[in-house]
Amino acid sequence: MSGGGLLVAGTTSDAGKSVVTAGICRWLARQGVKVAPFKAQNMSLNSFVTREGAEIGRAQAMQAQACRVEPTALMNPVLLKPGGDRSSQVVLMGRPVGEMSARGYHGGRQESLLGTVLDCLERLRDAYDVVICEGAGSPAEINLRRTDIVNMGIARGARLPVLVVGDIDRGGVFASFFGTVALLSPEDQELVAGFLVNKFRGDVSLLEPGLEMLHGLTGRRTYGVLPFRHGLGIDEEDGLRVSLRGAVRESAVAPPAGEEVLRVAVCAVPLMSNFTDVDALAAEPGVVVRFVDRPDELADADLVVVPGTRGTVKALRWLRERGLADALVRRAAEGRPLLGICGGFQLLGEHIEDDVESRAGRVDGLGVLPVRVRFARGKTLARPVGEALGERVEGYEIHHGVAEVLGGDPFISDDRGHSLDGCRVGGTWGTHWHGALESDGFRRAFLRAVADRAGRRFVPAPGTSFAALREEQLDRLGDLIEQHADTDALWRLIESGAPRGLPFIPPGAPA
């Protein structure tokens, strides 16, 4: 018999679906419930590699951590990785299957995947007591409803109750709740059980009359009002935000352990992917992280990071157009700290042969590392382990580019000193490994090397544990649900489905 389930939908993108899903998952896990997350289709440049070598969205990997289970491809069977405004790489069951235009995908391919995603969901429900599903965008996107496999399509196919989340901090939440229901067909409306208000500031008693009126208008109750809290984002799908502790600008950061802070500038390249790599830097007391797009913003940086990108050649062109390329070359020549990660590592090399991603052929890189890159049609997906700067380091690889390292010093090696990835020349480091900075010992050693080169009296705090900070963050999400949602009513919803006899709200979906 399949386990219970719930679909967390939203009135808009970024209403808080990922955070609420993770919070419900952590609340259930703390009750001893065997729970798993699920998102049928995700569009994101922030991805993760599971232990079986499958690529899934990072948000689902973090939700799996909230559940205290290992992430798998079943939890995010379809991942779309944008390569521009009109096309995306389609990753199916953790493996890339090709590039498609939005019109081509929604014109038939998406609908054909409904059976696949429903099968994945059913397999999870057979293995777990509860599966908490996350929708995408809004379920009331009437132009896309026919081919929908992630919102009401999956809810109808699996008979899941739906909880609609609205961000009241944006304003208009009552109209958004009502309008979301009223634009659904009668069959879809039957599954919409009620609402959850997110990011409320102030006295809840002032909100309650509106919630009662909403109940009267729709016949659907509100399952909780979550207060606004800084720094509760999990690994972001699209936003330019350092997710750990929320936006760096909003974070309460502990004072530095040494005499000075360390300033980190991250180049905001186009199609930036896995910018969550710098989360671990932002978690360090005394490390100030900011995203930049002008050469003058690099001047006072102690470390510049060129992050991953889904368009290495496009990012290279952007750096040159903005004058950032020349600034990076000067910085490398002066021996000032510079780190390239994945696509950022590739563009620091001598040249790139790309007949796969951009199809631009041979393109000159910045030439600051002795590396030549050739793009392969197959994608490298791995979870490697090695040593760097005398410390154990773990990471994950997601790239088409194959690097030929022709010189420099090894960066990440095996236990016999044989190079595993990347290289170093002077104050410039490059690696394909995402997530390496999450290894606490390595991160501290790297920051000491950066501070030494930058001439900063910065000392890494000895007790910072990135994994512990993540657990603390996930527990705070669980606390939000436990303390501010009607958990008894939520459990009945998960166990028994949407209440019977919910009224139809006209006009419903257009024919």
Active site (catalytic) residues: 342, 434
Q: Which amino acid is at 473?
A: Q
Residue 221 structure tokens: 């109750």
Q: Is the dihedral angle over the CA atoms 346, 347, 353, 354 positive or is it negative? A: positive
3-state secondary structure 96-165: EEEEEEHHHHHHHHHHHCHHHHHHHHHHHHHHCCEEEEECCCCCCCCCCHHHCCCCHHHHHHHCCCEEEE
Q: Which DSSP symbol is given to 437? A: G
Token output for 511: 């024919």
**Burial category of 441 from C-beta neighbours within 10 Å (exposed 0-12, middle 13-18, buried 19 and up):** middle
Distances from the Cα of 71 to the Cα of 50, 146, 357, angstroms: 6, 30, 27
Nearest CA to 135 out of 188, 87, 94 is that of: 188
Side chain identity, residue 285: P
> Residue 203 and residue 333: Cα distance in Å, rounded?
57
Count other C-beta atoms under 10 Å from residue 43's C-beta.
17
Distance of alpha carbon 199 from alpha carbon 195, whole angstroms: 13
Task: State the amino acid at position 438 in one-letter form.
Answer: E
Residue type, 54: A
